[in-house]
Amino acid sequence: MSDDAVSPTGTELKPWWKSAWLWTGGAVSVLAIGACVYFGMRLGTGPANDLAGIASFAAAVVSIVVTVVQGRRSSSATAHPPAVTHVNVQVSPSPVEPTTTPLSAHLLHVDETGTAPRVSQVPDAQLGVRSAVRQAEFGPTPYLERDVDDELTTAMRAGGMVVLYGPATAGKSRTATALLKRLFGDRHLYVPAEVGSLRALLDSGHQPQDAVVWLDNLEEYLGDRGIDRAVLSRLCPPGRGDVTVVATLRYEEYRKHGLDTEADQADDGKKPHPAGTALLRELKNQGRLFSLAADLSATERAGIARAQTDARPGDDRLSEAAESGRGFGEHLGAGEEMMQRWIGGGNILEKFGAAYISAAVDARRAGYHGPIPTDTLAELAEGYLLASFKERGNRPTSQDAVEWATQPVVGTETSTCLVPHRSGGYRAEDYLIDRAETPPSPLAGKPIREAIWPTVLSLADLEHLHAIGFAAYLADNHDIARTAWRRAAHAGDAQAMFDLGVMAAHRLNIIEAEAWWQKASKTKHYAAMLSLGGLLQKRGDTKQLETWWHNAVETGDAMTMFALCYLVEQHGDPELTESLWRKAVESGQFIVTFVLGPALCKHVDSRQVDSWCRAVGDAGGDKGMAILGHTLYLHGDTNAMETWLRNAIAAGTTSTVVVLGQLLRQEGKTEQASRWLHTANDAGDADAKKLLQIWTSEDEDGETASDSETPLPSSLPTHSPTL
């Protein structure tokens, strides 16, 4: 979106990062999130830009809203982590009648008594760990300590969810399982059998205790039916640290969720289902995402000699992998050997087997990550064979071709190009997906074959429909995208409804766009509500907006009020803003007062601001204090703000002082910021101490406050914690 954005009212908007709305997060970490758009469609000019821009802008706003409302403290850098780090989401799930289904209906592994096994009882291979080259000769390689181990260990011990991401064959599964078995060997291990198994398990009345939940290839479990913030809150309730959810995620999937800033800017639009994106963004804000590189660092290389002491005589695989010139894990996992099997086929069996692999890879490029039956794979493979091979009389059978493609490459036990699925059928190996679009891949520079699309649609469940729709849209196959999202929408999926509305908006079909956004809005889909609100404002229909507001106040729905407040604030109507603000105070929705307070400061004098802030402070206690200080800060009332700071410290809410101190420093008010941080430090605030150490280090390095982009320490809140 350009700086000269157009609001739903048709008026020019100032850049969002210059608006008072910027500070609703209270910290710099919120800013990067606000720039990301769920759908990410590139906007052009003309009427389509005006209409579709509403939806894109609305999605960006919701990104900020979700962060503000759902934000939590990060814990990965704390010296003494809390009992549990969990996603703080206000969830009121519908009552579910407990069932008596056995655990075997939900979990991949159970012991002879029908309960979840201990972590130490499950072999690494069953947790997704590949065997190393020459494993038959030497057995597993000794574990090489990685730089991320200490931070990952701290996060795991704290409870809650952690995610280890990196390239395929970087060693994510090996690293995570090694730490799990070291830390939690006696805990129960929960590996969901299907994407919806965790939700079904919780709905059955079973609550994991003293447990580890293992999610290898997290992208397979994300979404409305899989794990999202609501499910995670149920798995890891507040006040408990005995359940740790550990997941691995390929870097390409991490990138698709818009979590890599540079990649997201360069590759706008590749966003999977937003329920998964919201969870990952939440975890990133908490410092619960950890990266594992393909190559070894100098420290890791230095540890090879120590690890080799545990190896058998003659086993130099670790040293060999480190000096191979390829990625460390790529060498141990025979990544290059898998590529050579795919591209180097010579005889007719190998040509047919390679065609089966290409078909399976293209299915995953098209967004389908489930298994493909042998007969279906055989039909698709025909499109990847030269005509001369199709006519041969000595064609291998489909079974022969699949057997060749599923044979482990030389020297390994588990590295195969086609991976058999536990429920039947086959899927392409992760490593080949990461290499599919670059030479020497047989698919480099080639579009996904047309025959793939209807096939994956016929195989897809609800979760796959989203990914297929996005892949089709990015491939300019809008008919397939529309078909995929219509199926999802008819199954009740609100995000698909919103996406269909955006597609209609780009076609200038206002009636269809409004119809889809109306349907999505009924499910409390906030980007759809804002988009619909934009349409209503463009034609002057404020009556329905007011109806939304009154319904939101009656139901206590802060997110809806927040969204509507944004529309009202952009509309520039101070009387309506004040009316909604007062209703928010009366209803106890302090996040809304926090947002609208700065908007009112633009229209009134200091005495009125003081009166409003006192009303919020009286009504809200600590919450009111946070709102009061932030509003005074934005209004520039220095004396009143300092009075508030002293009261906050006296009341023990020093963490809000820390956040405000960071904002003061970023405005160049370094002496004032330092003074208040020292006061909070003297009051015993550990975060203030940590931030002062960072500032001291920066000052010694010669950085100035005006050009420093010092982030908040990861243990600091991403917004005022009392909210």
Identify the top-confidence range among 125-134, 409-418, 455-464.
455-464
Q: How confident is the model at residue 568 (pLDDT cuts 50, 70, 90)?
A: low
Residue with more model confidence, 708 or 320: 320
pLDDT at residue 629 tops 50: yes
8 exposed, middle or buried (CB, 10 Å; 0-12, 13-18, 19+)? buried
79 touches 533 (CB < 8 A): no
pLDDT at 625: 54
pLDDT at 47: 42
The answer, yes or no, to whether residue 514 has pLDDT greater than 50, is yes
Within 13 Å and on the Cβ side, how many CA atoms surround 126? 15
Query: Do residues 87 and 592 make contact, with C-beta atoms less than 8 angstroms apart?
Result: no
Range from 44-53, 62-71, 78-87, 422-431 that averages highest in pLDDT? 422-431
Kindly give the residue spans of alpha helices, DSSP state H, lying in 436-477.
452-459, 462-474
Longest pairwise C-alpha distance within the chain: 92
> Which residue in this structure is represented by tokens 């190393």?
132
C-alpha 278/C-alpha 519 separation (Å) is: 21
The string of DSSP codes covering 127-192 is GTPPPPTTHHHH-SPPPPP-TTHHHHHHHHHH-EEEEEEESTTSSHHHHHHHHHHHHHTTSEEE-B
Query: What are the tens digits of pLDDT across the range 354-412?
Result: 999 999 999 999 999 999 999 999 999 999 998 777 777 788 999 999 999 999 987 78
CATH no., domain 103-301 = 3.40.50.300
| Helix/strand/coil for 383 | helix
Give CA–CA dist 378/355, Å, rounded: 9
Residue 401 CA to residue 38 CA, distance in Å, equals 41
Of 199-208, 250-259, 546-555, 649-658, where does mean pLDDT reach its minimum?
Answer: 546-555
CATH number 3.40.50 given to 604-723: no
Question: What count of residues does the chain have?
Answer: 723
